[in-house]
Amino acid sequence: MSKTEASILIVDDDLDVLVSAQIFLKQLFTEVRVEQRPDKIPELMEIIDFDVILLDMNFTKGKNDGEEGIYWLNRILSINPAAVVIFITAYGGIDIAVQAMKVGCFDFLIKPWKNDKLLGSILAGLQLRKSKLEVEKLRFTNDTLDQEINQHFKEFVGNSLAIQKVFGLIEKVATTDADVLILGENGTGKELIAREIHKQSNRKNEAFIPVDLGAIHENLFESELFGHVKGAFTDAHTHKAGRFELAQKGTIFLDEIGNLSLPLQAKLLSVLQNRRVNRIGSGKEIPVDFRLICATNMPLYEMVQQGEFREDLLYRINVVEIKVPSLKERSGDIPLLVSFFMKKFTKKYNKPKLKLPQNVINLLSKYSWPGNIRELGHLIERAVILSDGIKLNFQDFASDFSNTKIQGNTEDNLNLEEMEKKHILKAISRNKGNITKAAKDLGIARTALYRRLEKYGL
């Protein structure tokens, strides 16, 4: 007969009780620990996340009021509110049982018990434990995804050859569990691709957990990704599941992975290799099952050569690599994207009659869009918000191209490269010469900005 996967702890000062209970329960459950001293409970709970704890109510000779048991029940629940505790005692008064239940005890067994009664109580406790863990996971998942609920991710818009190649790769890789690395400039839709892979995968009914590694402070990295237990550090007031646990059976998306320091890369690599996490403050390893998708706009292969990114981590995360084209590389899709954003924002801001003439769309198609689709979407949204009439013209967008002036009606003769050059200079000036910040403002990688500076001789 196969054993039930569960960790049971029995705490009783009577050695005979411990031995007999352990012999019986070891035949049925994968792990059964026994302990005579209740003061060892906190230490044991730091090592093992017990599913059910059998706890005697009296440990001092001559005492039978159950106060010691109530005390240790409170300690257990303060360490782990999801713990399931079953009291065992030779003194079974109604008052003690009622008090125990009020504090948080799950069940109350009188010594000597019948084995079928003991087993039934433990199995019921395991069901409660499962429910508690599911509620805990759901709560943390909801907290994590709350900000995602109002975001509406649509299908990719475009029929260019460059984007069709991406579609083909998504279809091929989605139904596998292969780790995927998505490379591309900021604003090209890397997260949208990750979500589409998840949507088409066998894990589509489970959670998709996005993590912006560039936004997580190095000191919070382990807590955010691996979780922590109550009291692990000053602000750890409750147990917290990490992002890998929240992604159980689903997909975890690590964006901006190129921003990780080498020490954090090593910690991440260990989890990816072992598929196990340790919450901060706990010695217990938690097995995790997830699909990994990573993304970055940074040149990882160059960073490996420069010793800034671990080669073993790179080859761990890029079983399949998807390179997302910039908007400049798929300029033929710009009219479709313009149409998509116009429909979206005229509806959102209740301006259904607002139109964008074809000659303006043609001009927008000639711009290189250093911020890619994100920049295009933001620009159109701003123009729709500020519009007063029923038609947008190029002047409605001109301020976004570094305040380029429109002379007469010669919009079609506008020098688009000059517009881009001024756009870059404005970003650099605004950030007081800081190239990294300027690149972030423009929505492009630092290396991409350097290439443009070289191109324009700046």
How far does CA 210 lie from the centroid of its chain?
4
Residue 140 has pLDDT above 70, yes or no: no
Residue 139 has a pLDDT of 61
The pLDDT tens digits for 319-329 are 999 999 999 99
pLDDT confidence tier of residue 170, bands split at 50, 70 and 90: very high
The pLDDT tens digits for 420-457 are 777 788 888 778 778 888 888 777 777 778 778 877 76
Q: Which of 9, 120, 123 is nearest to 56 (CA)?
A: 9
Pick the residue with more confidence: 389 or 262? 262
What is the average per-residue pLDDT within 254-266?
A: 93
Strand partners, 321: 181
- Inter-CA distances, 306 with 141, 175, 309, 444, Å: 38, 35, 8, 21
Domains of the chain: residue spans and CATH: 4-141 (3.40.50.2300), 161-323 (3.40.50.300), 328-455 (1.10.8.60)
Q: Which of 287, 280, 293, 77 is nearest to 183 (CA)?
A: 293
What is the spatial distance between Cα 201 and Cα 215, in angstroms, rounded to a whole number?
Answer: 27
- The answer to whether 275 touches 288, Cβ cutoff 8 Å, is yes
- The answer to whether 60 touches 14, Cβ cutoff 8 Å, is no
What is the average per-residue pLDDT within 266-273?
A: 94
What is the average per-residue pLDDT within 205-211?
A: 91
Pick the residue with more confidence: 346 or 360? 346
pLDDT confidence tier of residue 82, bands split at 50, 70 and 90: confident
The pLDDT mean for the chain works out to 84
Q: Which of 62, 102, 106, 103 is nearest to 87 (CA)?
A: 106
Residue 436 has a pLDDT of 81
